[in-house]
Amino acid sequence: MSPSPYPGTDLTSANTLGLPCTAEHFAAPASLAELQAALAEARARDWPLTLLGGGSNLILPERLPGLVIRPAMATWWLEEGENDRVRVHVEAGVVWHELVMALARRGLWGTENLALIPGHCGAAPIQNIGAYGVELCEVLEALQVVDLADGREAWMTPQECAFGYRDSIFKGRLAGRVVITRLVLCLSRTARPRLAYGDLAGRVGKAPTPLAVAEAVCAIRRDKLPDPAVLGNAGSFFKNPVVEAGLAERLLLEHPGMPHFPQLDGRVKLAAGWLIDRCGLKGLREGHFGVHERQALVLVHFGGGSAAELLGFAARVASRVQERFGVTLEREPRLAGER
């Protein structure tokens, strides 16, 4: 067989944790045809496949065998809908935060609470990104996928995506089977601010614009979260655990000020950052990794570490929470190559 048309590349700068990683082969298709050609090449050579977006919710090992594909299709456009509705067609390689700010500047409501979430649009549905009381599934109308096995295109509805809290079918049955290539979002020109989270309402006034809300969200996030360009991190490292009501009641008797959020199914969501903080772990550093000094939900990389070291550190943090509260913490960023 002829030499590979896809040379390897260093991916250290392609993940916000800043973990050292080399891809054996790498492709950044800028069109659907280029993506399908790369997939065909991988099938012909029997290469394992890894999909990479903005690298913001990802843990990379030191080496990724086979072909790493990072979709580079990066255009978006608007389509006027009925009444006040506007459809936004977005390709996978568009940077999510840049899209949110552009839509907010156009006066479109729906994504402003999701400002400053890092990553590319193609990865957003995988964990059903959410912040400040809003989740992606609330504005998603449809998405396009390409089957990794045969290159065929298909469209999916939100119902078919099986969205949940930081979850979707792309973490389950379709994990490693499709690549998301386009989103269709449905936004509104009518003011629909969602300001119940934290002090968001107090930051934007009585008649906010989408841009004012987005900028307030950015300010709050910058106050609490480290900039990955300065200190490597993957944002929230653990999901907020959802526990049975009985356990939540017992914990509230011991800790009356514990943040808790009743769910529709009767269970209760707890704040993972609060649990970690109450274990005295905020600001803890072990080797090349630590718990951020201002936000205990964020694990940070000081440089020079590896994925194995990070996972060991995270396991020790989760173990401390389990020992004190009887609550299991689940990792949010996925490990590349993990099946």
CA angle 301, 130, 53 (to 5 degrees): 55
CA angle 32, 160, 129 (to 5 degrees): 75
Per 3-state DSSP, the chain is made up of helix, strand and coil in percentages (nearest 5) of 30, 25, 45
The answer for residues whose C-beta is within 8 angstroms of residue 232's C-beta and 6 or more apart is 16, 17, 18, 19, 300, 301, 302, 303
* Averaged pLDDT for residues 213-239: 91
- The DSSP result for 12-27, as a single string, is GGGSTT----EEEEEE
CA atoms within 13 A on the CB side of 35: 28
pLDDT tens-digit map of 140-153? 999 999 999 999 99
Give percent of the chain above pLDDT 70.
99
- C-alpha dist (Å) from residue 62 to 22, 87, 112, 228, 230: 6, 40, 36, 19, 21
pLDDT score recorded for residue 225? 85
CA atoms within 13 A on the CB side of 146: 23
Instruction: Fill in the amino acid letter for 106.
Output: R
Query: Please, what are the domains in the chain?
Result: 9-69 (3.30.43.10), 76-224 (3.30.465.10), 232-335 (3.90.78.10)
pLDDT score recorded for residue 201? 86
**Catalytically annotated residues:** 166, 236, 332
Nearest to 53 by CA among 112, 114, 127, 113: 127
Q: What are phi and psi of 39, to 5 degrees?
A: -65, -40
Better-predicted residue by pLDDT, 87 or 338: 87
* Averaged pLDDT for residues 207-221: 94
Q: What are phi and psi of 175, to 5 degrees?
A: -60, 125
Measured CA to CA, the distance from residue 213 to residue 133 in angstroms comes to 13
List 146's β-bridge partners, or say none. 153, 179
Mean of the per-residue pLDDT values for the chain?
A: 94
Better-predicted residue by pLDDT, 81 or 252: 252
* Averaged pLDDT for residues 83-100: 96
**Strand 334-335 relative to strand 58-59, pairing:** parallel
SS3 call for 34: helix
Res. 2 pLDDT band, cuts 50 70 90:
low
Better-predicted residue by pLDDT, 111 or 222: 111
**Strand 178-188 relative to strand 85-91, pairing:** antiparallel
Measured CA to CA, the distance from residue 38 to residue 6 in angstroms comes to 9
pLDDT score recorded for residue 199? 80
List 100's β-bridge partners, or say none. none
pLDDT tens-digit map of 47-82? 999 999 888 889 999 999 999 999 999 999 999 988
Region of residue 326 (phi > 0: left; psi between -120 and 50: alpha; otherwise: beta)? left
User: What is the total residue count of the chain?
Assistant: 339
Better-predicted residue by pLDDT, 197 or 259: 259
pLDDT tens-digit map of 271-327? 999 999 999 999 999 999 999 999 999 999 999 999 999 999 999 999 999 999 999
pLDDT tens-digit map of 95-109? 999 999 999 999 999
pLDDT for residue 4 is more than 80: no
pLDDT score recorded for residue 339? 59
Weakest mean pLDDT among 177-186, 220-229, 242-251: 220-229
pLDDT score recorded for residue 202? 86
User: Order of strands, edge to edge, in the sheet holding 63-69?
Assistant: 9-10, 22-27, 63-69, 49-51
List 79's β-bridge partners, or say none. 87
Measured CA to CA, the distance from residue 241 to residue 272 in angstroms comes to 6
SS3 call for 274: helix
